[in-house]
C-alpha cells in the first residue's frame, strides 16, 4: 500500500513541499504520496490525530505550528530538543510520534555540500533570534566555527540564545548597530525581508570574502542579499537550497533513503523564472 505523508500548516496551499517530496519519491522509487494538510488554527492536534488514524506515516510541520508539534511529540531527537521547534513528525512502529527538526541540517548541507562553503574556523554572524535561528544553531556549531555572533533587534532574545547554546561553542549576543568586526558568513534569519526591511547592521561586517545567506527566497534577489552585493560581498545565496535540503533530510528520516537534490532545486528555480 502507498504510504501517506503531508505538510501541515495554515495557510498551506502554496507550499512547495508536495512537489519536492513527490519528486523525491519518483526518483528513489519509494511508494509514497505526499499532500498538503490545512489545520485549523485552534486544532492542530486534532488534525494530526485524524491524519495518523487514517493511515498517515509522517508529517512536515510549518508556520504557525512548529512549537505545537514540539509539545505534541512523544519523543524528540536531540536537535529538535535544542531547537524547541519541530518540522518533521514520524509515526514509529509502536504508534508513538517522534519529532525532529531538519532545518539546521538542511542549511548546513546547502552551505557545505551545494555551495562548498567550509564553516570550520569561520566567523559567523547570525541575524535574528526567533525560531528560525534557534533551529539552526546546533548544526552550525557542530561545524566548529571560530565563533557565532547572534544579533537581534530585541537583544535580550539574542542573549538567551547565546546562553542556551554556550556549551556547544563560542556564541555571543549583540544589537544590530553594535556588531563589531567583519564576518566570513552572514546568515539572515530575521523575517525583516518579508516587509522589505533590512536589519540595520554596519556595512563594515562585510569583507571581500564574505558569503551571505538569506533563509528567505523569492523570484528576485532578496533585499538583504542585494544590500550585501552592493557592499562588496563575494557571494550571496538564497534559502531555496535550504528548503530542498531540509525536505531531503526529512525524507531520509522517514524512509532511510537520501534523495538527490540538484535536479529538484533546478526545476524550482526554472518554475520561479516563469
Please tell me the distance from the alpha carbon of residue 69 to that of residue 72, in angstroms, as a whole number.
Answer: 5
**Catalytic site residue 16?**
no
The residue from 66, 90, 91, 122 that is catalytic is 66
CB 134 → ligand ATR: shortest distance, Å? Answer: 8
User: Is 133 in contact with 149 (CB distance < 8 Å)?
Assistant: no
CA 178 to mean position of chain CA atoms? 26
CB 195 → ligand ATR: shortest distance, Å? Answer: 5
Q: At what angle do helices 155-164 and 131-141 cross, to 10 degrees?
A: 30
- Nine-digit cell string for 248: 531531503
Please tell me the distance from the alpha carbon of residue 199 to that of residue 115, in angstroms, as a whole number.
Answer: 24
**104 near ligand ATR, judged by CB under 6 A:** no
Candidate residues 2, 96, 118, 154; the one interacting with ligand ATR per rule CB under 6 A: 154
Query: Which string of x and - marks every residue 127-146 that binds ligand ATR (by CB under 6 A)?
Result: -xxxxx--------------
User: Which residue lies nearer to ligand ATR by CB, 196 or 256?
Assistant: 196
**197 near ligand ATR, judged by CB under 6 A:** yes
User: Which residue lies nearer to ligand ATR by CB, 55 or 200?
Assistant: 200
DSSP annotation of 119:
-
Residues touching ligand ATR: how many (CB under 6 A)? 15
Which range of residues in 38-46, 70-78, 97-105, 122-130 is near ligand ATR by CB under 6 A? 122-130
Q: What is the dihedral of CA 51, 55, 61, 62, to 10 degrees?
A: -60
Candidate residues 15, 68, 188, 190; the one interacting with ligand ATR per rule CB under 6 A: 190
- Nine-digit cell string for 223: 533585499
CB 183 → ligand ATR: shortest distance, Å? Answer: 18
Helix (H, G, I), strand (E, B) or coil at 41: coil
Please tell me the distance from the alpha carbon of residue 169 to that of residue 163, in angstroms, as a whole number.
Answer: 11
User: Which residue lies nearer to ligand ATR by CB, 157 or 235?
Assistant: 157
Cα–Cα distance list, 146 to 36, 135, 170 (Å) = 40, 20, 7
Which range of residues in 34-42, 94-102, 187-195, 264-272 is near ligand ATR by CB under 6 A? 187-195
Question: Where do contacts with ligand ATR occur on this chain (CB under 6 A)?
Answer: 128-132, 152-154, 157, 190-192, 195, 197, 199
The set of catalytic residues is 66
Amino acid at each position: 500500500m502507498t504510504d501517506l505523508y503531508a505538510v501541515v500548516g495554515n495557510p498551506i496551499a502554496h507550499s512547495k513541499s508536495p512537489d519536492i517530496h513527490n519528486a523525491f519519491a519518483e526518483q528513489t522509487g519509494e511508494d509514497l504520496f505526499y499532500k498538503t494538510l490545512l489545520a485549523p488554527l485552534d486544532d492542530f492536534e486534532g488534525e494530526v490525530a485524524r491524519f495518523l488514524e487514517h493511515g498517515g506515516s509522517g508529517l512536515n510541520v510549518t508556520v504557525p505550528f512548529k512549537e505545537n508539534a514540539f509539545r505534541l511529540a512523544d519523543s524528540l531527537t536531540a536537535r529538535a530538543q535544542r531547537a524547541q521547534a519541530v518540522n518533521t513528525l514520524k509515526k514509529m512502529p509502536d504508534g508513538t510520534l517522534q519529532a525532529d527538526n531538519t532545518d539546521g541540517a538542511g542549511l548546513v548541507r546547502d552551505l557545505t555540500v551545494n555551495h562548498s562553503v567550509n564553516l570550520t574556523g569561520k566567523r559567523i554572524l547570525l541575524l535574528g533570534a526567533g525560531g528560525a535561528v534557534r533551529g539552526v544553531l546546533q548544526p552550525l556549531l557542530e561545524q566548529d566555527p571560530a565563533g557565532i555572533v547572534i544579533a537581534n533587534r530585541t537583544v535580550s532574545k539574542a542573549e538567551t540564545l547565546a546562553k542556551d547554546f554556550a556549551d556547544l561553542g563560542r556564541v555571543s549576543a549583540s544589537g544590530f548597530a553594535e556588531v563589531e568586526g567583519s564576518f566570513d558568513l552572514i546568515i539572515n534569519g530575521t523575517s525583516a525581508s518579508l516587509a522589505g526591511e533590512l536589519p540595520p547592521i554596519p556595512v563594515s561586517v562585510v569583507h571581500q570574502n564574505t558569503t551571505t545567506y538569506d533563509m528567505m527566497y523569492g523570484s528576485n534577489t532578496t533585499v538583504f542579499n542585494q544590500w550585501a552585493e552592493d557592499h562588496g560581498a563575494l557571494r550571496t545565496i538564497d534559502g531555496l537550497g535550504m528548503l530542498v535540503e531540509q525536505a531531503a533530510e526529512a525524507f531520509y528520516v522517514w524512509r532511510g533513503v537520501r534523495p538527490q537534490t540538484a535536479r529538484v532545486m533546478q526545476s524550482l528555480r526554472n518554475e520561479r523564472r516563469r
